[in-house]
Structure 1
Amino acid sequence: MATQMPPNLVANLQNVLVGRKGKGDEEQGEEKDPNPITSGGGGEEEDSRPIVLLTNAGGISSPGLTFLAEALLRSGLCNLHVCAPDSDKSMSGHSVTVRETLSVSSTDMNGATAFEVSGTPVDCVSLALSGALFSWSRPALVVSGINRGSSCGHHIPYLGAVAGAREAFMCGVPSISISMSWRKDESKESDFKDAVDVCLPLLLAAIRDIERGLSPKLAF
């Protein structure tokens, strides 16, 4: 659980990542990719920040997604877009909707462009990457979470949150799935705020690495 992590451990992690950012900036200088994959479109003023697509399995109103979206928006370091199920699809695995018509609705999420979808996390990521919902060609990073409950061992094949990240990876987009261990009668929704404090520095470091071309290259 995030609440059991010592505050000094979190602080140390953040300090290391801040130092890593400074070192990387010196090595890379001010050089920018002339054709970034993060550029927007649709006739609006271009936002040069890297695009992050956020999804989950617990539903668009779940606290894990809400708190993470708020933190990413506050950071100001990415152009956030959200596409998530309209209800809990936690144990949907890598299933897709083929015999029903998907419904999609725009929703307000404190400044992020957001859609809720009647299907699974895989449906959400597939729709987002198809270009049917957003004007960009593809995001720099897909984040799936924060999932309620651990994502490990034999649980992995069944979890919609992991499948959302896997779908992005299969499409050639870097992705991360995040989960938080949940204990009945002990854990509470506010614990997700602590989980965000732990994982946000890692997400921002991943975004910086992707911008610099330091992320692992995907081959199929």
Structure 2
Amino acid sequence: MSSDKPLILVCNDDGIFAPGIRALAEVADEFGDVAIIAPDRQQSAVGHAVTVSTPLRSRAFQIDHRFNGQAVSGTPADSVKLAHDQLLERKPDLVVSGINHGSNAGINILYSGTVSAATEGTILGYPSLAVSCTDYDEDADLSGAKDAARRVIGWILSEGLPKGVTLNLNAPSGPLKGIKWARMANSRYVEEFEGRVDPNNRNYYWMTGRMQLLDEGDDMDLSVLEKGYASLTPIQYDMTAYTLLKNKEDVEL
């Protein structure tokens, strides 16, 4: 890798051979050197889980005879941590995660392995971006998500990001209509579990559910996406409820 170009670390949670990570690597390649380090299998909805009870392993791959990659036997956050400490010859200038198949807007931010890989990059001190397409189909048209990622990556490399801030980008499938800054919609999942019995007479459960919107407003990510635009949300891993903390500073317990 040539040291005069930015090094961009590409990760995801759909696994190193998912179509979305190839698409994002193609965009990143327009801006600098690309290193793909990602889970060796599907890791959707693992959040910010890390592996502590078993060793991690990595295997080198060349993807599409174009990109060098390492498949890691762990989570998205594991992959970024291992890249930072062991697998990269030099530190990245940018971490990008995706393109995820499926929206990571609203409460999905909390559960997403794609977002968590980017957040881990922020924790380690790198400007970081998560990219998702709202279409879950593996053959989804990622052209709009790629165009949006191209614009945002260029902006980050030019302007930088504040310390502790990650950008979360979601785009509908198909051509890009435009990008709008948006806040995270207040939402949650209403879940149900279908109980079944296996051939050995043991109970098991399948989880189903739907997202419930607890919010309204044109400025939230889900509304922006519904109108056909890509949403760009600055997020942070500091979970302190500052409003409550400020109001309780003089309260003795």
TM superposition score normalised by structure 2: 0.60
The residue type equivalent to 2:59 in the other structure is: S
Question: What is the CA–CA distance in structure 2 between the aligned matches of 1:72 and 1:170, rounded to whole Å?
Answer: 21
Instruction: Determine the structure 2 residue equivalent to 1:140.
Output: 93
Root mean square deviation, CA, Å:
2.0
Q: Gapped runs of 5+ residues in structure 2?
A: 166-237, 239-253
Question: What is the CA–CA distance in structure 2 between the aligned matches of 1:58 and 1:119, rounded to whole Å?
Answer: 12
Question: What is the CA–CA distance in structure 2 between the aligned matches of 1:146 and 1:96, rounded to whole Å?
Answer: 21
Question: What is the CA–CA distance in structure 2 between the aligned matches of 1:193 and 1:63, rounded to whole Å?
Answer: 12
Deviation sequence 1:116-136 (CA, Å, 0-9, x none): 101000000000111x11110
Shift of the 155–190 alpha-carbon distance from structure 1 to 2, 3 Å rule, reads: closer
Question: What is the CA–CA distance in structure 2 between the aligned matches of 1:181 and 1:217, rounded to whole Å?
Answer: 28
Contact 1:102 1:119 in 2 (8 A): yes
Instruction: Determine the structure 1 residue equivalent to 2:143.
Output: 193
Deviation sequence 1:162-204 (CA, Å, 0-9, x none): 1101111111111011111026xxx552412342123212212
Q: Which of 170, 173, 179 is the matching residue for 2:126?
A: 173
Deviation sequence 1:70-94 (CA, Å, 0-9, x none): 2332x2x211111000111011111
Q: Which of 149, 155, 159 is the matching residue for 2:108?
A: 155
Q: Which of 155, 162, 174 is the matching residue for 1:216?
A: 162
Instruction: Determine the structure 1 residue equivalent to 2:53.
Output: 99
DSSP-derived class of the 2:38 partner: strand
Report which of the two structures shows the higher radius of gyration computed on alpha carbons: 2
Q: Which of 82, 93, 118 is the matching residue for 2:73?
A: 118
Contact 1:58 1:147 in 2 (8 A): yes
Instruction: Determine the structure 2 residue equivalent to 1:71.
Output: 27
Report the Cα offset of residue 47 of structure 1. Answer: 2.3
Question: What is the CA–CA distance in structure 2 between the aligned matches of 1:107 and 1:188, rounded to whole Å?
Answer: 21
Shift of the 96–135 alpha-carbon distance from structure 1 to 2, 3 Å rule, reads: same
Contact 1:81 1:113 in 2 (8 A): yes
TM superposition score normalised by structure 1: 0.69
Task: For 1:10-89, list aligned pairs within 5 A.
Answer: 46-73=2-29, 75=30, 77-89=31-43
State the identity %.
Answer: 34
Question: What is the CA–CA distance in structure 2 between the aligned matches of 1:217 and 1:152, rounded to whole Å?
Answer: 22
Identify which of structures 1 and 2 has the higher relative contact order when contacts are C-alpha pairs closer than 8 Å and 6+ apart.
1
